[in-house]
Amino acid sequence: MVGAVPGTHGVTGAHTGSMRTRSRWALAAATTGAVVAGAVVVPGVASADPDLPPTTAGQLLADVASAQELPFSGTVEHTSDLGLPELPQGQGAGGGDLVGLLTGTTTLRVWSDGEQRQRLALLGSFSETDVVRDGTDAWVWRSDERTAVHAELPSQEQLEAARGSAGDEGADAPMPGATPAEAAQRALAALDPTTEVLLDGTTTVAGRDAYDLVLRPRSTISLVGEVRLAVDAETSYPLSVQVTARGASDPALRTAFTDLSYAVPDDDVFAFTPPDGAEVREAPSLGAAMAEGSVPEGRHGASSGWTGEGPVSSSGRGSAPEGAAPTVVGEGWDAVAVLRGAAGGLTGGAGDVGAGQALLDAAQPVSGEYGSGRALQTALVSVLALDDGRVLVGAVPTSVLEQAALDPAAVP
Amino acid sequence: MSAPDTAPATGGPARPGGGASAAAGRRPSGAAADLRLLRSELALVLSRRRNVVMLVVLALLTALVGVGVDLATGDADPGTGGGPPFLASLTQNGLFLAFASLTASLPVFLPLVVSVVAGESVAGEASSGTLRYLLVTPVDRTRLLVTKFVATVLYAAVAALAIAVTGVLVGLVLFPVGDVVLLSGTTASYGEGLLRLAAVTAYATAMLTTVAALGLLVSTLTEVPVAAMSATAIVVVLVQIMGQVPQLSFLHPWLFTDGWLRFADLLRDPLALGGVGDGLLLQAGWVVVLLGAAWARMTSKDVTS
């Protein structure tokens, strides 16, 4: 067809031609601009630095240490950019996995009643891992495996008894009787030899005003460039933690509240009853329960690193030999932990065979006077797994780990 | 030009489904007229055989998934965690067939059927020559555009519902039903499970509004409906591929497909509404932008055929 039908022009007046066309498109473009501006600018305005009463770095440190336990609930976003390879994850998991904390972004929801009950939920795209603590009962629930692992926790009295027998271990903690100024002095003095502590203005995290506290290692060896804490101006809770590698501009680890409320959470949140059809297991401790939850059936032997209870020999889970506690070589930020008997090597801590293999592939074979093994250096942490079963971990380059392996304290 | 420019009845292809007849007549005014126009548009969309066949295919796919899982249950170990989301829970509760099918359909099948309907909406009328007749009658172009958008979104809702309802029914027949175990390990009643399914279905529909707006925009740019449909579908697929490329991660939060599968948050306890809200807001932003462009094009273009 050629030309326009005259009648249709009369109806809507598109006849007026290009000027009208232009104004219509201009309006559409303006709308687009407004939407983009709304999306980009509004969050920026909300996070303008607030005006807060002046304080000192030492005072802030003491406040953090003596902060009262408050009930709260919120959402936390955790991002890791350690330079690790993409770790394979179960298809349904998509981040709802403890291994997922090592790479990419993970969203967590947290609740606490400020006393004996806490809950943490790792949100996967179609799964969830929950750690629920209700007094002395703890549950680890994994939706993709439908497992609920229960662990009995020591009661408050048992914990206090244990603390009492530990003697003067607690002497470094700020004493309740000390004045705020003394506590501040003490906190600063404890850190000063190894760390430069400074206050770096104010910020807003999850809609709350906060002070920015920066800890900078004095060490020239450590991989850690700085640790930045946002401390709630009102409650002294840390609202975000960012760890930046030396020489890097963006944090390698970032954990921050995106949403936080100090209201007392519902009782329901802390009540966990294993659902029908779930596989219910018992574990000796919360660490073991978390490890058990994150490892597919039949692969428990490789789960040592997650228990957080020191190395576990490959011969049996939970039967760590006496005297296998990690030795520490070096001081402060340069400290290197030497784990013995972790025969799983680098795969040990991965919690999943697929992820462990990916980590192993990323590690370089090394050898020297100390023996041979594999080394992996990430942005913040290095791991050296030796064939003799020793695993050295530290926030230092692998060359420092190799030296530490020669240290008399670290011999096998 | 030989086509008459008066009544549609005297020549040219008639608009099926009575769309033109409802829009014709005296100048319509107010909400009643809007509703009448929408009803006729919706009747037109739902009476098109192609669109009905697409709904049936979606329902059949859902049923097929259920039958497939039912047949495979003998040798599969339930709860191993592998496979598509929610499928492992299916053997425990039939309601999960609806969730699993919606999850599986949202990335490809649902956008595809919405692309077909949205791409057809303006270009189809233009190519069959009914658009100008529609515009001869006193129907404002803006109103026509909005009506077509709403009708397309309603079709998307019907498509999502077709999957959800088939899922519930086939699940009732093939699998055990009862209390629903949510992702957080909390047990909810079957009724609450249905409510949450309704919320998930509504969210899935909301996620398709951008596809509808995009299809409408493309549809105003061409008079070849097939071109509009395929262009829309291709853009949807492209955007999803962009969402998978790590080098483009700075763009990811702004892609309209970013929040699509976040409806899993509706299956947590307590409900996690932050992500869902962000997803809805993102869709709203895209719809405003795309509909704005479609409106600029629609109200300024020369309708020549």
DSSP string, chain B: --S-SS-GGGSSPPPGGGHHHHHSSSPP-HHHHHHHHHHHHHHHHHHSHHHHHHHHHHHHHHHHHHHHHHHHTTTS-TT-S-SSTTHHHHTT-TTHHHHHHHHHHTTTHHHHHHHHHHHHHHHHHHHHT-HHHHHHSS--HHHHHHHHHHHHHHHHHHHHHHHHHHHHHHHHHHS--S-EE-TTS-EE-HHHHHHHHHHHHHHHHHHTHHHHHHHHHHHHH-S-HHHHHHHHHHHHHHHHHHTT-GGGTTTGGGSTTTTGGGGGGGGSSS---HHHHHHHHHHHHHHHHHHHHHHHHHHHS----
pLDDT at B259: 87
Query: Euclidean distance between the first and final Cα of chain B, in Å?
Result: 10
Instruction: Give the residue-averaged pLDDT of B222-231.
Output: 93
- Counting one residue from chain A and one from chain B, the pairs whose CB atoms sit within 8 A come to 150
The structural domains of chain B, with segments of one domain joined by +, span 33-300
What is the band of A153 on the pLDDT scale with cuts at 50, 70, 90?
Answer: confident
- Are residues B15 and B133 in contact, defined by beta-carbon separation less than 8 angstroms? yes
Q: Which residues of B touch A95 (CB under 8 A)?
A: none
pLDDT in tens, B61-75: 999 999 988 888 655
* Partners of A202 in the β-ladder: A211
- Are residues B114 and B212 in contact, defined by beta-carbon separation less than 8 angstroms? yes
Q: Is pLDDT at A166 greater than 60 in this prediction?
A: no
Lowest mean pLDDT among B126-135, B137-146, B174-183: B126-135
Instruction: Give the residue-averaged pLDDT of B259-280.
Output: 88
Q: Is pLDDT at B94 greater than 80 in this prediction?
A: yes
> What is the distance between the alpha carbons of residues B111 and B285, in angstroms, rounded to a whole number?
18
Q: Is pLDDT at A302 greater than 60 in this prediction?
A: no
What is the band of A346 on the pLDDT scale with cuts at 50, 70, 90?
Answer: very low
The beta-carbon neighbor of B295 closest among A28, A143, A145 is A28
Q: Which residues of B touch A12 (CB under 8 A)?
A: 135, 140-141, 299
At A131, which helix (H) or strand (E)? strand A128-134
Question: What ipTM was predicted for this assembly?
Answer: 0.77
Instruction: Give the residue-averaged pLDDT of A335-358.
Output: 60
pLDDT at B207: 95
pLDDT at A231: 92
At A58, which helix (H) or strand (E)? helix A57-65
Structure tokens at A170: 């607690």
Q: Which residues of B touch A275 (CB under 8 A)?
A: 179, 181, 185-187
B169 or A276, which is more confident: B169
Within A206-319, strands assigned E span: 208-217, 224-232, 238-245, 253-261, 279-283
Q: Nearest CA to A248 among A380, A359, A66?
A: A380
pLDDT at A339: 84
The beta-carbon neighbor of A144 closest among B81, B268, B301 is B81
Burial class (CB in 10 A: 0-12, 13-18, 19+), A46: exposed
For B289, the closest chain A residue by CA position comes to A32
pLDDT in tens, A348-360: 444 445 556 667 6
3-state secondary structure B129-143: CCHHHHHHCCCCHHH
Percentage above 70 pLDDT, chain B: 85
The answer regarding whether domain A57-261 maps to CATH 3.90.870.10 reads no
- Characterize the bridge pairing of strands A147-152 and A279-283: parallel
pLDDT at A178: 56
The beta-carbon neighbor of A11 closest among B81, B88, B135 is B135
The structural domains of chain A, with segments of one domain joined by +, span 57-261, 299-315+325-410
> What is the distance between the alpha carbons of residues B305 and B301, in angstroms, rounded to a whole number?
12
Q: Is pLDDT at B285 greater than 90 in this prediction?
A: yes
Please judge whether A8 and B275 are an interchain contact, meaning their C-beta atoms are less than 8 angstroms apart.
Answer: no
- Are residues B146 and B35 in contact, defined by beta-carbon separation less than 8 angstroms? no
Structure tokens at A224: 């850690």
What is the band of A76 on the pLDDT scale with cuts at 50, 70, 90?
Answer: very high
Query: Euclidean distance between the first and final Cα of chain A, in Å?
Result: 89
pLDDT in tens, B96-113: 999 999 999 999 999 999
pLDDT at B69: 86
Structure tokens at A296: 């597919």
> What is the distance between the alpha carbons of residues B97 and B176, in angstroms, rounded to a whole number?
11
Write the Ramachandran bin of A146: left for phi over 0, alpha for psi from -120 to 50, otherwise beta: left
Cis amide prior to A311 (ω within 30 degrees): no
- Are residues A344 and A332 in contact, defined by beta-carbon separation less than 8 angstroms? no
Give the list of residues 6+ apart from residue A326 with CB closer than 8 angstroms, or none. Answer: A310, A311, A337, A338, A339, A340
